[in-house]
Amino acid sequence: MLELKNVSFNAESDGENVGIIRDISLSVDDNRFIVITGPNGGGKSTLAKLIAGIQKLSSGSIIFDGVDITDKNITERARLGIGFAFQQPVRFKGMTVLDLLRIASGKTLSISEACEYLSEVGLCAKDYINREINASLSGGELKRIEIATVIARDVKLALFDEPEAGIDLWSFNNLIRIFEKMRSDRRGRTIIVISHQERILNIADEIVVISDGRILKQGSKDEILPEITGTESAVNMCSKIQ
Ligand SMILES: Nc1ncnc2c1ncn2[C@@H]1O[C@H](COP(=O)(O)OP(=O)(O)OP(=O)(O)O)[C@@H](O)[C@H]1O
């Protein structure tokens, strides 16, 4: 279980100390698929970074599986089973997809195991396993490889920040399938996705709407989705219900 207790994050902006995250308390049970949404600049990415340990809290605490992780760094949190999917995988010259999956899994991964992870994200393993991670891979391919590394790490909590950003409709349709599969095959894993996309909101167990650094709404998909969707995108509707 993940528990945020009175979490705040302040930052300097134009010489002023502003509240980016303001006193957020949130409990996420195991085995849940949570989507965090809300208007641009509301604080969603910052919240994900606070959970992953990329940013340090100004006040409050974060408890993960009964352990206070507030003062633990990103590596320590990763060891406890928290995985954060970056917009793009980290690139090192000469590193292949197989190398990256082996590093992510933290164990001696056989080629067939690595291929299984690639298949899970819809990539034909034999075409990709020995490819170097460089600019020759498309945005959609990179995104799927990044998701495969999170699956390979077998994390207890997987955080995805706007996985749909920068990919075409075809890749987006594949991405939805990957998330639907992750949802049906959670094996105790909790998945938190930050997204504006109605199709991703639609597979959530629970939706949390963040606006102006606070939780504006929170509840089951059936409760929240009708309030924030309609003819316009969720993000616009979220702005209207402030
Ligand atoms: N370290 C920082 N210093 C100053 N301002 C920051 C810092 N981090 C975030 N902000 C500001 O806090 C606000 C929230 O940013 P954040 O990226 O968390 O929003 P978001 O909800 O993820 O937005 P989007 O939907 O556009 O991705 C923004 O106005 C951003 O400019």
ipTM: 0.95
Going by pLDDT thresholds of 50, 70 and 90, the confidence category of residue 87 is: low
pLDDT score of 240 more than 80: no
Note the pLDDT of residue 221: 94
Q: Which atom of ligand 1 is nearest to the CA of 47?
A: 18
Q: What angle do CA 34, 121, 186 make, to 5 degrees?
A: 40
Q: Which atom of ligand 1 is nearest to the CA of 49?
A: 18
**Closest ligand 1 atom, residue 162 Cα:** 27
pLDDT of residue 238: 47
Contact (CB, 8 A) for 17 and 4: no
Class for domain 2-228, per CATH? alpha beta
User: Using one digit for the tens of pLDDT, what is the confidence trace for 184-195?
Assistant: 877 778 999 999
User: Is 90 exceeded by the pLDDT of residue 125?
Assistant: no
Reference 164, options 177, 152, 183; nearest CA is 177
d(CA 211, CA 235): 10
CA distances from 93 to 32, 107, 142, 210 (A): 37, 22, 15, 38
Tally of helices (H runs) and strands (E runs) in the chain:
10, 10
> Is the CB of 20 inside a 6 Å radius of any atom of ligand 1?
yes
The share of the chain scoring above pLDDT 70, in percent, equals 92
Per-residue pLDDT at 86: 66
Q: Is 56 in the pocket of ligand 1 (CB under 6 A)?
A: no
The token pair at 32 is 């849940």
pTM for the complete prediction? 0.85
HSE value, Cβ hemisphere, 13 Å, CA-based, for 31: 4
